[in-house]
Amino acid sequence: MNKNIVVCILLTIVTCGIYGIYWFWCITETARTVNPAEWQVTGGMAILFSIITCGIYGIYWNYKMGKAFMAINGGADNSVLYLVLSLFGLTIVNYCLIQNDINNAFPVGA
């Protein structure tokens, strides 16, 4: 679950977004683990839905990740922030913010 955010950003850039798809999958699977009541969709299904809807599902996904990670984010609801960032094309910033919450909730060696 824990990832180095800078390495993830660099890998996403170097692989022309392919690693970003993997990162999207990892975050989605973590959401299923952390808050199964809020998020039941698998990573593969989320990728497929995003492709089928030409990215519209990805915007919805960003909003729902704010709700799904409230449990590990100290109860803070970042769903509107994630929605606004995704509407401005800054989804990678959302990935970084979500990954930071995951890294804080599940430190290495814990």
Instruction: Summarize pLDDT for 34-66 with one digit per residue, the tens.
Output: 888 888 999 999 999 999 999 999 999 999 999
Question: Which residues, 6+ apart, have CB-to-CB distance to 51 below 8 Å?
Answer: none
Decide if 22 is inside a domain: yes
Alpha helices in the chain (DSSP H): 5-14, 18-34, 43-52, 56-68, 79-87, 91-105
Measured CA to CA, the distance from residue 45 to residue 61 in angstroms comes to 11
Question: Which residues, 6+ apart, have CB-to-CB distance to 84 below 8 Å?
Answer: none
pLDDT beyond 70 at 5: yes
Range of the domain at 19: 5-105
Decide if 29 is inside a domain: yes
What is the reported pTM?
Answer: 0.89
Overall domain count for the chain: 1
Decide if 110 is inside a domain: no
Decide if 40 is inside a domain: yes
pLDDT digits (tens, 9 = 90+) for 77-91: 899 999 999 999 999
Decide if 67 is inside a domain: yes
